Amino acid sequence: MSKQRKIQDSDWLYSFLRPYVDFVVRLSYREMRFVGRERIPKDSAIIFAPNHTGTLMDALVLLAMDRSPKVFVARADIFKKPILAKIFAFLKIMPIMRMRDGIDEVKRNNETIERAVDVLRDNIPFCIFPEGMHQTKFSTLPLSKGIFRIAFQAQELMTDKPLYIVPMGIRYGNFFRFRSTVRIQIGEPINVGAFIAERKGMHPQEQMNEMRTLLEERMRESILYIPNDEDYHATYETCAAVVSRQEAILRKEKEHHKLRGLNAYFTANNRTVKQIQELKSSDPERARRILDLANEARALRTAQNISLKSVALRFPVLSNVLKGLIFLLLLPYILVTTIASLPTTLLSNFLNSKFKDAAFHNSVRFLINLVAWPVMMIIYAIVAYIALPWQFALALTLAILPSPLVADDVYRLIRLWVSDFKLWRNKPLRKKYAEIRDLMF
């Protein structure tokens, strides 16, 4: 009788496809940055604990962090169809029950916990989203018990090996726009064995509660954390309004003078959030005025369909001139790639129309580019080689190969161009943002 295959066991097809999948994941973002990878403990059992904002893409960007295999968990209801269950097993994803599934279903988590412990004993990193569900906000949800039950049980069975929970923060530039940016920060790991030993006089449930508080704190340190209260949207609007000035201030400081790109943006926004929270205590009237202005600005901006990116941009006039020149220079190529990518774009839009939750849209776009675009390229190549001399066919095939990426970036260019122009014309809106900046600094 053959030995039952474990989810963490090596699979030749998985290993063969993995580099291609990682490559397409990286192409799905204009920039992908990992910060703090040196914090991941070596020669230890690892439980990754990221926040959850982007459905399937959250798992894929973590998988693309390095070449090591990883095992994930996902909510059990998506495993109900046998074919999907087989696909998820191939992708090294295990089911986990939630309280909303009913108490009888939750009891089945014991099997998942046992399998998770087995994964950790085999030195395979295990990834669980401790919030239990996704939300498209720069905030956090209450952490579920599953990750702590797994950690405590694994530590009990693995006395010969250190076990760490590694908090991670995934920060997307935009939750809903394809080809946005993503920054993944690895937080300070929690040594589970040491944590339990330091609290050996406590009841296990008390230990878990304290670990939950600690993990929540370290996860929040790894993301742009905005309290999910009535001021959430106003706070984020303020972040965009002052980010350029905040970055300029940061670069004048010795410890931050080298900050650039996503890291500078991340640090500046976190400082703005902290500044607002401090103002609420030290100068509540000023804080209220800033947040009220931000709410008013947000209402005006969204009514005009103006992007927050336009608000954050420091030199919109120069930016528009550069965008226009690039567009005119590349117009013939843009038209070809836009037409070539039209079938996959229409398919993505059709499938996305079936999802009420827009958080799934980028995952759909990714899957279309992963599977459908290679099929389209084969069709285009065959037609080109039939209709043209091979030299021209080869050139055309290579030229249209990046069509979905070019089309997305061009769409973004035009969208922001229009948005910048609308902001430039809207003097009352610009005045509100200027007042916010004056009050903040």
pLDDT at 315: 59
Q: Could you give the CA distance from residue 74 to residue 77 in angstroms, rounded to a whole number?
A: 9
Q: Could you give the CA distance from residue 354 to residue 75 in angstroms, rounded to a whole number?
A: 20
Q: Is the confidence at residue 74, as pLDDT, over 70? A: yes
**Based on the number of CB atoms within 10 Å of its own CB, is 237 exposed (0-12), middle (13-18) or buried (19 or more)?**
buried
% the chain with pLDDT above 90: 71
| Domain locations in the chain as residue ranges | 12-221, 232-304+432-440, 318-425
Q: pLDDT, tens digit, for every residue of 87-125?
A: 888 889 888 775 555 555 556 667 778 888 889 988 899
Residue 371, SS3?
helix
Contact (Cβ atoms closer than 8 angstroms) between residue 181 and residue 29: yes
CA 119 to chain centre: 25
Contact (Cβ atoms closer than 8 angstroms) between residue 41 and residue 190: no
DSSP at 370: I
Q: Is the dihedral of CA 40, 225, 274, 270 positive or negative?
A: positive
pLDDT at 109: 66
Q: Mean of the pLDDT values across residues 289-317?
A: 91
Q: Give residue 68's region: left, alpha or beta (phi > 0; psi -120 to 50).
A: beta
pLDDT at 1: 44
Q: Mean of the pLDDT values across residues 311-324?
A: 74
pLDDT class for 182, splitting at 50, 70, 90? Answer: very high
pLDDT at 368: 95
Q: pLDDT, tens digit, for every residue of 127-175?
A: 999 998 899 999 999 998 889 988 998 898 888 889 999 999 999 999 9
Which one is predicted more confidently, 87 or 304?
304
Q: Could you give the CA distance from residue 237 to residue 223 in angstroms, rounded to a whole number?
A: 17
pLDDT at 15: 92
Q: pLDDT, tens digit, for every residue of 335-385?
A: 999 999 999 999 999 999 999 899 999 999 999 999 999 999 999 999 999
Which one is predicted more confidently, 297 or 356?
297
Q: CA Rg, the chain, in Å? A: 24
Tokens of 252: 């004048």
CA distances from 401 to 196, 280, 338, 344 (A): 54, 52, 12, 13
Q: Could you give the CA distance from residue 21 to residue 4 in angstroms, rounded to a whole number?
A: 27
Q: Is the confidence at residue 320, as pLDDT, over 90? A: no
Q: Is the confidence at residue 276, as pLDDT, over 50? A: yes
Domain 12-221 has CATH 3.40.1130.10: yes
Beta strand spans in 9-70 (E): 31-35, 45-50
Q: What is the pTM of this model?
A: 0.90
Contact (Cβ atoms closer than 8 angstroms) between residue 325 and residue 438: no
Q: Is the confidence at residue 65, as pLDDT, over 80? A: yes
pLDDT at 73: 87
Q: pLDDT, tens digit, for every residue of 229-273?
A: 899 999 999 999 999 999 999 999 988 888 889 999 999 999 999
Q: Return all residues near 302 (Cβ < 8 A) that are at least 6 apart.
A: none
Of the listed ranges 332-336, 374-378, 414-418, the one predicted with least confidence: 414-418
pLDDT at 145: 87
Q: Mean of the pLDDT values across residues 380-408?
A: 95
Comparing CA positions, the residue from 81, 157, 77 lying closest to residue 114 is 157
pLDDT class for 55, splitting at 50, 70, 90? Answer: confident
